[in-house]
Every structure is written in structure tokens, then in C-alpha cells.
Amino acid sequence: MLEARGVLLDDMVDILDQLQRPYNPDMPRSLCEEHILAVLRKQQTFHALQLAIKIDTAVEAKEFNPQYNHIVAMDEGLFGVDESIATAVPLMYGTIALTNFGYLDKEKIGIIERLDSDHTDGKCNTFIDDMVCGIVAAACGRLAHNNTPTYSKPVK
């Protein structure tokens, strides 16, 4: 589904690596891929992703009323439903994942920026760009929780 919308696994791995490298300089890139894939295997991720892609493609096909098609296609700032659906994914991985979602949604790194700005030929990426934010943010949280440096662990 992601590939059909122009999103490759490597696109998401690139962003996760960029975000986590400062905290874990010796981290193998394969670890980033492992965490992205783990998030993608979650049923909740799959359901949110299906819904997001269906809405974007329905807007492209003009299946909704003209007002709704316009609001979603233009990704109007007060709409917010796209972020609401996408945050279902990082919410599974704690506050660190949720704060990473906010950062990615604001900064629009890598494929997220390309999706957000691509409106060629009536393309709508309003929901999918936020889903990519959510998937990568969740993987950030998952990676952080599963790779806690020794100095951050409680003293016994």
C-alpha cells in the first residue's frame, strides 16, 4: 500500500536513522529497518494506513462532496482529522513517540516533505504524509524503549 503511494521502506528508514543517529552513533541501519517493520506489522497500523490511503484516493477521485474534497486536498490547517488518525500509531509507543510525531509533522523530513508538497495531477497526500510521520515516530519510540543506554537504566 505504501509503495503504491510512492513510499518505500528505505524512505522511512532514512528518517528514523537521521533522528536516532545522534543518540546512538554506533547503531546499525538494519536496526532502524527492524523497528519500522515491527510497527508496520501491528494491526492498528494496518487499519489506520488503509483508512488514510482510502481517504486520499477517494479525494483524488472526487468521491466526497466538493467542500470536503477541497478541505482535504488543500490539507487545510484546521482540518486535523489526518493527524488524529495518524497519531493512533505512535500512541502505542508512549510519549516519546508522540513528541516525535509532532516534530516530524512540523519539520517534514525526507519523503514526508515530498508527499506534503506533491499535488501534481490532483494527487492528494493529506493523510499519507501524516501516516508516514506516525510510523516513523512510533519506530523512534520503539527503538528508544528497546535500546536504553546503560547509564539511563535505574540503579539496582
Domain interval for residue 89: 7-22+29-147
Answer whether residue 85 is part of any domain.
yes
| 34 inside domain | yes
CB atoms within 10 A of CB 46: 13
The pLDDT value given to residue 149: 59
The torsion angle over the Cα atoms of residues 19, 16, 51 and 40, rounded to 10 degrees, is -140
How many structural domains comprise the chain? 1
List pLDDT tens digits, range 49-108. 999 999 999 999 999 999 999 999 999 988 899 999 999 999 999 999 999 999 999 999
In a domain, 52, yes or no: yes
Nine-digit cell string for 51: 483508512
Residue 92 lies in a domain: yes
> Rounded to a whole number, what is the distance in angstroms from the first to the last CA of the chain?
46
Chain centroid to Cα 92, Å, comes to 13
71 located within any domain? yes
> Is 55 inside any structural domain?
yes
Quick check: pTM over 0.85?
yes
Tally the C-alpha atoms within 13 A of residue 35's C-alpha that lie toward its C-beta: 29
